[in-house]
Structure formats: structure tokens, C-alpha cells
Structure 1
Amino acid sequence: MQWIKRITLFFLLSYVLLCGLLYFFQERFIFHPRALPADYAFEVGEEMTISTADGVPLNVLAFRQPEAKGAILFLHGNRGSNRRSLRQTEGLVGADYDLYLYDYRGYGKSGGSIVSEEQLFADAQTVYDSLRQYYAEENIILVGYSLGTGMASYLAANNHPQHLILAAPYASITAMKNLWLWMVPDFILKYPLNTRENVARANCPVTVLHGRRDELIPYAMAEEIREAAPDRVELIPLPESGHRGVILDPLFTETVLKAIR
């Protein structure tokens, strides 16, 4: 019976260690920023700096034009920086709406580091509030991709934008965790990022684009998001697209431009 106790103790200690690692190092699992040198210069657009409530500078790349009818705020995925966002949104440059790309803390030329969900949401709200100084809310379109869908949907639930567009969204980070680590308790997560719940409370129409071949976030999560508010959510399946392919699919650009018209 001694060997049974030893095996039980081994698995118990391994479980506790796993939970501890996930709690203390979850930022490393969720966020994969790519920093850019302070002197890095984008060859296009106009760089802006927006300061957070605690004084951290967030780098914003803006594409503005005379007599723009509104603004598009793009919230990117968990990898890269505005340099990658620029490639993903190049089809939106020169549209009737100004385009704003912003880097989260620690990404690109933004300062600081991400430490909580509350901080992520507060930073997104700060950027949104800066746009409201120049654009009416009914002329602001929110576009989120992958990780950014959690923050974009939060803004839609707590403000009154014109439209919310989600590309490759997750129902929640909690649901993503449960795909592989169902044995780990939910309270371990500091970043539940409940997109489904936010969409249910959103104050605008919502369009969801999701690849049928998404190898990271199951297509079923997009269907779950649609069911959160079926009267306001349009789900557009992309039969041939995987996770990264969604944001590069021509239908993504077409959908955003359609929302402008």
C-alpha cells in the first residue's frame, strides 16, 4: 500500500505545481508581445501616444484623412505588434473611416507590462475615450482579432459604438483553458475575458467571422457567441480559413468596409 500512497502524493504534488505555474506565469502563456525599439519608425501612418491612468504610454498608429466619416479601432491578437497589425488591416487604409491600431502594454513601442484583466480593459477604454473626443460613438467601429476580441467585446458592452466585428473569437479564455486543462479550477485564471458574456450585453450589432478550419479556437465557440444574442449577431463562416487565415481572408476586409457604408 506504500507505493499507492507515493503515487497519490506524486500526482497531488504535480497537480499543485501545475496550478501554481499556471497562476504565476499565465501572462507568458497568454501574451506573446514583440517589442520594437524606441526609435523604430513606421513608414506609413501617424504615430500617437496615449497615456494610461497610471502614466504608461501606449503606442497608436493612426491613418487619418480629411472629412472622415468615423473611426475604426483595431484590437490585435496575442502576438506581434502594430507592425503585424498594419499588414492585417492594410485593406482598411484609405476607407471613409480613419483607422487606429494600438499596442497593448509591452507590445511594440508601448510601455509597461500586462498584469491583470482590469488593466487590459481600462487601457482599452482609455484609447476608446480618446477617440470619442473626435468622433461620435455611433461612428466608431470596433474590430477585434483573436485575443483582441475579448477587449473589443468589453468596449461594446460598456459603450455605444456603431458596430462590433470579431474575427476568430473565443467564447472565453476560461473555455479555452477547459479544452485542455479542464482539471485546473477556473479561479486560477486572472484573465477570463468572457467574450460571450460581453456580446450578450453589447449595445450594437455584432458580426462574427470564424474559420471552419481554425486549429486553435473551435468554430463551435463562434456559434456559442451567436447564440448569446441571436437577434444582434451575424455569423459568417469562412470554410477554407484557419485561425491566422481569418484576418487575411478578403472577406474580413469586405465585412468591415460593408459596416462603414
Structure 2
Amino acid sequence: MKWLILGALLFLQGCSSNYFLYSPNDKIVFSKDDFSHPVKDSFIRSRSGNTLHLQHHLSDNPQGLVIHFHGNRGNLSQTVEKVVWLVDEGYDVMLVDYSGYGLSNGKPTRENLALDAQTVFEISHGLAHQHKVIVATSMGGAIALDGLAKSKLERYFDLLVIDSSFESYQNLARDVVANVPIAKWFSSRIPALVSDERSPASNIKQIVNIDTIIAHCNDDRLIPITRGKALYQVAGNNSQFWQFNGCRHARTFTDEFPNNQQRLLAHIRKNRGASLVASNTLTSP
């Protein structure tokens, strides 16, 4: 049991490298031929000093660009289903693998991944697409917010969707500890073990020039919906909170839930025409 506790705390620790916070692998689970649309790969040099793999899923007549930041586990090929459906709806989709993930080199640390996200925003903000949407899932929400705050380029993007994410590394660690009864004793030590430097809550306060949706499933057992609501509470006046029933962690907008997909698609299309200025509203299906 003590090794389980130590492993949980190390996994969520936030000191110098944060290496244990991330679980990358290089197992590519699909071929480009698995898709009916064109798929292209590119490699870019990141501010982190590492080379990143980007994958572009291309629509015949793109109405805009969707950039996806995946969660802490696996690589872009294992999370593509969360956004690739948007290609059939007329959007180019760019998938991002961070340092140490998939075909990208280097090590995944909090600083490296923030610099990776910053680089992606710097490269993509000038692309020809007139409508640009950011979709960030789970840990990808924290990474995207960190990179967007660093880049100060949010005004060049039209919509930010944060799904199944959290506001505080320390509070997320407390949630993990709370699920191990004997580990509750460690709760008071979390501030010393887990850094909240550049937390999602602190970063989202700096991002005021983009319409934002924060989405979360009531049944999320990995990152409780309370974490998503806490992030929403500190978001700007141009934010909305969407809560959904019946979906598991980070599955909100997959093909399992076509109604959720259609709600997001309708919002994206509405956003394409004009700024929404959502006035910090909380909604449910």
C-alpha cells in the first residue's frame, strides 16, 4: 500500500521536472490509410528545443481549423477520435504530440509542454484559416492554457474548448489521495510535494480575449466535475460551463455521444459568424 501511495504522489508531483505527471508512449495505433480524408505529417522545432510531430487531417473545403491538445497518456494516435469527426463537418484538424510523446522527441516536463503549446500557437495563428478553434482534453487543458498564456495570442483564435480538465495540480492530487483511505494522512503534505506554479486557474485568468467553453461529465471518476467547475469559476466573462450526463472521463465529444458532438458543432458554427461574449453562463443539456 505504501508504494501505491508513493506512486500516486510521484505521479502528480509538481517539482522541477514533473516527469511523473505524464505517461507518453510511441505506439502508433492507426495508419493514414485508415481514414477516407487526406492525412499529412509535419515536424516543427519547439521553443523547448525538441522536435514535435503534428498531424493534419484535411477536409475537402475547410471552413476552419481545429487544434487538439490531448491528455497526459499515450499519443495523438490514441486520442484522435475526440476531434477527427470534425473533418466530415468541414474542418481541418491539427493533432499535437508534446515532447516525449509519439514521434516527438525530448522529455515531457511542465515547462517543455508549455513551450510546446506556445510554439504551436505561434505557428498556427498565422495560418490561412479564417476560423480557428482550440480543443483541449484533460491534461491537455492545462497544457493549452499554459501555452496560450505564454504566447499572448488568444485574440487570433475564435473559440477555446476545455474538456474534462482541472484548475489546480494540488487539488487534483488531493482527489487522488482521497481515493486511498490510508493515504489521507498525506493530504496535508501535498503543498510541499505538488507545485501549483502556472496552474490552469492562474493561466485562465490571463486569457480574456477568446470565447471559452469548459465542459465536464457528471460521471467523470478520474477528474471530478468539481475540478472543472472550479476552473470555470475563475474564467473570464466570455466563458460557459457545459455539464453532461452519462459520459466517462474525456469521452464527452466522441462518437459515443452524437448529441454532444452536435451541440459543440452548432456552437462552433455560430462562433464562426460572430464573437459570442458568453457572459459566464452555466448550462446543462
Q: Under TM normalisation by the shorter chain, which class is it? A: 0.7 to 0.9
Asked whether the 8 Å contact 1:142–1:164 carries over to 2, the reply is yes
Residue 228 of structure 2 aligns to a residue whose secondary structure is helix
- SS of 1:184's partner is helix
User: Which residue number corresponds to residue 182 of structure 1?
Assistant: 187
| Cross-structure match for 1:213 | 219
Equivalent residue number for residue 160 of structure 2: 164
Give the C-alpha shift of residue 259 in structure 1.
Answer: 3.5
Larger Rg: 1
Distance in 1 between residues matched to 2:159 and 2:51, nearest whole Å:
27
Q: Which residue of 1 aligns with 2:72?
A: 78
| Distance (Å, rounded) in 1 between the aligned partners of 2:198 and 2:72 | 13
CA distance in 1, matches of 2:125, 2:88: 20
Partner of 2:32: 42
Gap change, CA 1:54 and 1:89, over 3 Å in 2:
closer
| Deviations 1:91-135 (CA, angstroms, capped at 9, x unpaired) | 1123333110011111111111113x2221111111111112314
Q: Confirm whether residue 198 of structure 1 aligns to residue 203 of structure 2.
A: yes
CA distance in structure 1 between the aligned counterparts of 2:190 and 2:120, rounded to whole angstroms: 33
In the alignment, which of 114, 118, 121 is matched to residue 121 of structure 1? 114
Provide the secondary structure at the position in 2 that maps to 1:183.
helix
Structure 1, residues 221-250: CA drift from partner, whole Å, max 9, x if none? 222222213632211111112214324233
- In the alignment, the residues of structure 1 paired with residue 196 and residue 258 of structure 2 have an alpha-carbon distance, to the nearest angstrom, of 31
Note closer, same or farther for the CA distance 1:229–1:191 as it changes in structure 2 (3 Å cut): closer
How far does residue 201 in structure 1 lie from its aligned partner after superposition? 2.4
In structure 2, the gaps of 5 or more residues are 178-185, 270-285
Q: Which has the higher helix share?
A: 1
Which one of 8, 18, 24 corresponds to residue 33 of structure 1?
Answer: 24
Cα 1:256–1:131 shift into 2, 3 Å: farther
Distance 1:256 1:66, change over 3 A: same
Deviation for aligned residue 1:208? 1.4
Q: Deviations over 1:114-166 (max 9, x none)?
A: 13x22211111111111123146x72211110000012223444322211101
* Structure 1 partner of 2:276: none
CA contact (8 A) 1:36 1:107 kept: no
Cα separation, partners in 2 of 1:236 and 1:54, compared to 1, 3 Å: closer
Q: How far apart in 2 are the matches of 1:32 and 1:252? A: 28
Match of 2:229 in 1: 223
- Give the conservation status (yes or no) of the 8 Å contact 2:115–2:147: no
Aligned-residue identity in percent: 21
What is the number of residues matched between the two proteins?
Answer: 241
CA RMSD of aligned residues (A): 3.0
